[in-house]
Structure 1
Amino acid sequence: MSPPAALACYRRNAKRRRDAPDHALPSSKQPVMTTHSAASSSGAGGSFYASPRSVHFFVRATDSKTIAMHAAWDDTVGAVLDHLAGCGYGRDLRLLYAGRQLLPEATIASLCLPPDSTLHLAARLRSTPHPEAWQLASHIAATAAAAEAAATSTPSHSLDCLVKEYILCASGSRKRGDRDDPVDIMSTRHRAEEYLDIFLQAGAAVALVRLYLSNSSFFRSFAERAIRCFLSTDPVSPMPPAVKPVTAPVLLEFCRLLSVTTGSKDSLYKSCRYTLASVLCEPLSPLTSSKSPARVIEQVLPFAREVVEVVLSGLTSESMMVTRADLEEFSNFFKVLRHQVHRWMPDGPMRKNLYNREHEHSDTWVWELHEMSMNLLRSVDECLKRLEMDLSTLSSESRGVIESQPLWANRLHILAMLTELDLISAIFEDVAHNLRFVLLAHKAPLNALVHSSKRNEHLHWLVKHKDLLCFEARRNLVLMLFSEGKDDYGELHEMLIDRSHLLDESFEYITQARPSELHSGLFMEFKNEEATGPGVLREWFCMVCQALFSPQQVLFSPCPNDQRRFYLNGTSVVDPLHLKYFIFSGRIIGLAVMHKVQVGIVLDRTLFLHLAGRSITLEDIAAADPVTYASCKRILEMGATDIDELTLTFSRDVHTLGSRRTIELCAGGQDISVNIKNREHYIDLLIKNIFVDSISAQLANFAKGFSEILASPDLQKVFFGFLDLEDFDRILGGSNSTINLKDWRSHTQYNGYKEKDRHINWFWKSMTIEQQRQLLFFWTSVKYLPSDGFGGLSSKLYIYKTLESADHLPSSHTCFYRLCLPPYPSLKVMQNQLQKITQEHVSCSFGTW
């Protein structure tokens, strides 16, 4: 009988106790014994009869089975051993109690065993290097047993103190706060592991649970406090770091015992189960790293199944809510299960025939885990259907509002469930197929969930399904790859820039900063100007990018047919600092994206593809080098004779600073002629040489600068994996189309004026198309609107009425999108004043805080 079954029997009252099916023994010197395996025990068995002249006890065997026995007082330890040997446990056995061997000639009566004691069976006498551990663990067990028997109420007050002392001993420190010389972590953990094993062997865990099952609330509370010492919930006495990873066997024992005695609703059991899930995820947990994977899965699966039922109950409820704690516990248990499955079968997803319930050779846990996974997927599918119905009742304008509401944010646990199912899909091939089908069927709620999601590093798996995501969802995913900025100005990287030395000083501030200093965000101001804040920062970004991508810098070249689109200039080597400037350029682009500033420039496809780690083809160079593109297209269209007449070889001539040199596209390229058979290979090598090899150092430094702004440089591939070039254009460049005046007016509010006032009508009539963008920049420091227009800005725009006279120019608070407009006496006066501030050379630096 396993410990849980023994405890279940122990709790039954005397009326329900009946004789268990005993093995009749021929001699009174042979004890009666009944054995049940731990795997089959459920607490439903009967109890054991013990006469006034007999004793009932348990024996923990070497095969992890617990044997329930009762024997006469005059039976000897040797008789017990003989009986165990006859039951197949072998010869040369030893019985241990409280860490000491029991002499074979000793009678049961002479041992003075406490009620329901646990003895340990060993094939040989085991010596222990930790006698103090046996002594203290036995004392804990005896104290709990004495309290349970109501022999005394005095010792129980120190039960939790004894357990805390035992945990401290396991960590190698008697007193909390000791400052001994550092001990090797692994040896300390090994010591702690041995101590906790002794804790179990001495029966301390069983004794504590028995006391917890007491009818006395007084003793029950002391037992609970003692057990909770293993749960790391006490901020005053936290679990030592060396002990926590190895507590899994003890926690597993508590969970087993409590699950069959108190049930899954018991608060202590739920706390033990929650902590068990957390500890099992520790990298060096002995339970998950040493045992066979199948055995670990069988031990963990019953508790995971309970948590899955809790999650399913929440998903199928009216609110579809799952608490954060339940979700975390579910995630931890499934993390352990996935890890063990990968150990059990490391070669990828299982074939369907391996998790068929009817498959005679499949392990039971395989199809049980698959069944739980499919039930979860079905419940998530139903939740997405309900969310889609909610979205279908809203207009397109209202959807953006509902996605930002806290109620919608409370649905993000469904996205977390999808993440878990994606991880499970690496185990079962049909889960991956069905998950894709569910996402395809519910694109609208999927996009709404992703769009409203907050910082979450676990959503990278969605790159496999980016074709199902809208631009707003993809943009949110990549913005979450940057470190979270700080609102406290003391945490920001501060810059004081002289406008007359804008690029040089900006270069120094940005390149000399450590990447970690830039992750918090930027705070800058211009020398001799009072204005500070986000508006000034937006202005700085636009001005720096305008200067950085200017042809005079020889770093980038505009595409012939699109002056906003730039690729790397191979002649940048003329500047000895060009590689540092490319790091600076990459950082500036990354910071602009991080701060959500549209700077009006975009990257050429060849540069974008390099950052994304993708290969460059002929069609990709059309914008950057239309001449080479057209030449290559003609070569592909020529016949064999025409190609031969070109006398091309696998080389190309390069002109730099008035000198000419020949570069071979491959080894011996000058001696290899281009013909109709190898022309495609020639074109591939030519494109690679022009757009990759010849500027490899510049590309590497630009990419380095950009990746340093991400939360981790390793995320660059994920960042560009979510985006197409058109997406990146919209994020970085914004809209270059004519401003929609109707959209502008609809996103403007008034203070001191009314929408139909004559001054407001004059204002909207005063701007020419050429002046609109300059006025917008003066008003907001936004030169290029987001791709979705004024609705993409972080705030409405405001026009405030001031009391200044007509000779005052309008002023702005760019941080708050606020324009301060005096009540000019006529349309002509207003036009003259607006014309002054919309001249490009004066539209900057007018903003105030």
Structure 2
Amino acid sequence: MVMDGSIQNTRRLHLVSTTHLRPWQIVDEMISVIYRYFYRKYVPSPYTQIENCMNEFFSMIPKENKCYLEVIRLSFLPELLVSLYLSPYQVDKVFAFGMIMHILKLSRIALAKDWRNECACLVLEFCKLLRRVSHEDSLYLSCRSALGLLLKNMDIASWLLYGEDTKGASCLMKEIFSFVGELGNRLCEDLASSTESPWSSGPFFGDVCDFKAFLLPLFIVIKRGPSSDPILNRDYVDAFGFLYATFSKLLRKMDECLLKMQSCFPLNTTWEDVTVWNGWFQHLAILEELHKISELYDVAEEELWMSLRQREFSLCVLLVKYLKPTDDIKWLLEHKNDYGFEFRRQLARQMIPKANEDFQRSLKIVIDKFLNMGAHVEGHQVLPNDLFSQLRVQEESAAGLKSYSTRYLTEKWFLSMCQAISIHKMPFLLHVQMILHDSILILKGFSTHTLLIYAAIKLENLHLEYFRLAGKLIALALIHQVRVGVVFDHVFFLQLAGKSISLEDIRDADPCLYSNCKQIMEMVSKPIVSDALELRFIGGAEYKRSAELCPDGKSIVVNGKNWKIFADLIIQHHFVTSISKQVSYFAQGLADVFGSSIADQGNQENQAKQCIYQIEQEIALLSQFNHPNIVQYYGTDKDETKLYIFLELVSNGSLTEIYSRYHLKDSQVAAYTRQILHGLKYLHEHNVIHRDIKCANILVNVGGTVKLADFGLAKVTEFNNLIKSCKGTPCWMAPEVVNLKRTGGYGLPADIWSLGCTVLEMLIRKPPYSHLEPAQVLYKIGRGEPPPVPDFLSGLSQDFILQCLQVNPDDRPTAAQLLDHPFVKRSSHA
């Protein structure tokens, strides 16, 4: 036994299977290389040898065979690599770290294959071994996250019954318990620290993602219910009790956290004015998981919502500050009636698309429309005389629009306008209301008006324009957060979104119609008299009119077989067909301000999905790259609302942090530059432009190895194909990027210009053009003026920088050519 590395020099034979003869040979070769490497025997390119073996091994995995990866587990290769990772020598640790991370990368390929279960078992083996090192070890955390990602994308039910071995499934469940317990404890500790100071980090995003992933198997087991198999039934009982205990502990800690949050706010503080702390970012995500757990237990759901009702202010702060339009809020909407108006208003605002127009321009549009309508309807008489006069005078003045944005004027004007609509003082509304019970706007409640559109007996074009005006007013009131005493009825939201409307949807909107439809349902077993049915839907109006609900509807008799269809047709006619124009014009008014209607959100979601797909394709390409000077991308994952990108952890920070702490010598800058060039050369050979090379995007690991990172702006191109979009960070952008007219686009040489700026940045310890304003920087770069290179720099460094900063892209050397520059070559001999 070698004590330093805990590696035993066994001479056992590994070739024990004829079914997988070549895989056993490959694993034996890897083990042989590791032993020789550890005993410091000469091994040419050991890292590359093992990497190639692993690539070959994983490329040979058969589609159907479920025992292929058992070859690695039975060979004790995981134990060997972890033992090497525990070596006190840094070179051994780095070597093992790279090998294990490469296995994790290859296991990611399983997401698109049929052998995810086996990969999950292999990654689980590494997790169990590394957990003995430390729960905080970076490699262990990477393995745990990789396992969580596999769990989210695989058939968990079959994995828990992997190989139909119930004892094996039970062992897997115990491991899941340990992960959930570990993450639950971690989240509790971080929740407690999140309220200690505004700078506390709080729960980490990665821990929350892992917690969500490892909860999935527990959900599966509990929802499956008790089993006749004693082992599986014990798993169910254990999971049921364990998950509730985890829920209770986490809920208590969250309740304490929300209570402390409330004490952090001064009295009479509004939600919008609250200064948030760094550690609160993941609180909503944790609450969502607690809600999912609570749905499995009757008592747990009541406990959760009772706690949240007591902490309504803190919950509203989280909604205002952290809830994004893309977040799933269904779990909050289910209990919206348990909270006050302000809470519901914040939820409603999340469902409204953001405005893409200038507020002042929107106000002017509405005011112009209102003033122009004065020629047709004396509607302005319902507004206070002084306010209307002020609006007319300011609308005519050149500088008057600026005063519209003042809080006093907007609130008073919006409130008066919306009241003029909602209290039926405008003549056309008053006219319709007096003639028909089927009014256009119905008021309910005391202090708040519910907006709901019904059919009018006679619809004029001017009436439709008022609907559009009303839509603009409501939209602008939402943007300016002005309370106008009007809220949308649930049915009205469905109308705007173009959704179907059910009987239960109209319970509150039209109690009379709801009651009549319910009575029809009760008449199923009785003969239905058509005259009685006809009168039933006249309601309180003093007129009778008929409408054909479907083609040839007059010849169809309503009976016990088609009464449901009849009721649905009545509802659709009453709430959809007969008012389609009104709803359309109102929705157009909203869209005039917001830039899109509520119904358009589905199209925007499709565009977002397409964008996410493109990102996934690009990351999938980047994850195939493997170079010591490029941060390793492991791929992507997504749920209903988020896209996650998984990449290598580099813990020592960026070159910006390094040159801020230390004054780098020429030789050190040259060494870093040489590694950057190796990474760029690799990217450019694969036709990838980084497009954002700068010190902040270049990381350095504990061994001093440079890693190119932040490929958010990276673009894959083909030779002779120029990119025609302006991307990058201004101070490091090439002239052809800023001014696309110079060459009609840009290519790989744009990275070389950025490299020259980066080398200059390291030597002068500040960004290039730092003496200029951003607009001046873009102007000078667009004209082809490179940043000034100080005379105090060495001759070699100046020459290297100036070669990179050639204005003509064709004059710049390639990354491969720059590797032969004397400034860089001397670092390789240092």
TM superposition score normalised by structure 2 = 0.48
TM superposition score normalised by structure 1 = 0.47
Q: Which has the higher strand share?
A: 1
Q: Greater Rg, structure 1 or structure 2? A: 1
Q: Which has the higher helix share?
A: 2
